[in-house]
A and B are shown apart, each in its own frame.
Chain A
Amino acid sequence: QVQLVESGGGVVQPGRSLRLSCAASGFTFSNYGLHWVRQAPGKGLEWVALISYDGSNKFYADSVKGRFTISRDNSIDTLYFQMNSLRTEDTAVYYCARGPYYDTRVVQHWGQGTLVTVSS
């Protein structure tokens, strides 16, 4: 079955960097687009980034554009999210999610999330 396992969350000071990882299994990783979605404590879901199946296309929400970078390594079935210049408002649970076959217009399967806390 589809499994997405996020890691790399933790407590970080404002202005610092953090890299999240998402290890995938149960499907042919290189055939699927992937997303990062976040949820601030007690708040709703916010889509933040997507990457196409081959990494050639990447799109970001305005709130993270220029600070965060999504990438993937299809040789080890892993998605990454490099987060720079972190702000307190970036505090959230970050979910890795997968779309349908070769499609990035829909989110289907979700990981369990990893908590990022930005605080001094």
Chain B
Amino acid sequence: QSALTQPASVSGSPGQSITISCTGTSSDVGGYNFVSWFQQHPGKAPKLMIYDVTNRPSGVSNRFSGSKSGNTASLTISGLQAADEADYYCNSYTSRSTLVFGGGTRLTVL
């Protein structure tokens, strides 16, 4: 099972919006609405930010939103803040009843 494809890095200034893409295949991202996004700060465990493509767990800021078109899912962060600087990973359920992660994207807030 190949990892989902994410850009290695993205950056933005405080207050701006950024979007991170996550590209898979029809056997994972494109075939199911079980795409999640995780935020990970250095030395910490990942934190769920988006699940089932568009849903936010309670306590997660509405500045974080998710979407999907075909085999590509996206995470958008609006009103960038310094605290958003972290690594972000997408994740999808697959046709083999397994899960697969993206390679990760490092977000830098300039």
B-binding residues in A (CB < 8 A) = 35, 37, 44-47, 50, 57, 59-62, 95, 104-113
Q: Is there contact, CB below 8 Å, between B89 and A45?
A: yes
The listed residue (B40, B99, B103) touching A107 by CB distance below 8 A is B99
Q: How far is the CA of A68 from the CA of B97 in the complex (A)?
A: 17
- Complex contacts, A35 vs chain B, CB 8 Å: 99
Bitwise, B74-110 to A at CB < 8 A (1) or not (0) is 0000000000000101010100111111111000000
CB-CB nearest in chain A for B47: A110
Q: Nearest Cβ distance between residue A89 and chain B, in whole angstroms? A: 15
Q: Nearest Cβ distance between residue A79 and chain B, in whole angstroms? A: 16
Given A45-B101, A47-B100, A59-B98, A106 contacting B45 (CB threshold 8 A): no
Q: Is there contact, CB below 8 Å, between A45 and B46?
A: yes
- Complex contacts, B48 vs chain A, CB 8 Å: 107-109
Q: Is there contact, CB below 8 Å, between B91 and A110?
A: no
* 8 Å CB interface, B2-19 against A: 3
Q: How far is the CA of A59 from the CA of B40 in the complex (A)?
A: 25
- Complex contacts, B101 vs chain A, CB 8 Å: 37, 44-47
**Listed A/B pairs (20) with beta-carbon separation below 8 Å:** A35-B99, A44-B3, A44-B102, A46-B101, A47-B99, A59-B96, A60-B98, A62-B1, A95-B46, A104-B97, A105-B32, A105-B93, A106-B93, A107-B36, A107-B91, A108-B48, A110-B45, A110-B46, A111-B45, A113-B45
CB-CB nearest in chain A for B93: A105
Decide if B51 is an interface residue (CB 8 Å cutoff).
Answer: yes
Q: How far is the CA of A108 from the CA of B58 in the complex (A)?
A: 12
Q: Is there contact, CB below 8 Å, between B36 and A59?
A: no
Q: Nearest Cβ distance between residue B90 and chain A, in whole angstroms? A: 10
Q: Nearest Cβ distance between residue B37 and chain A, in whole angstroms? A: 11
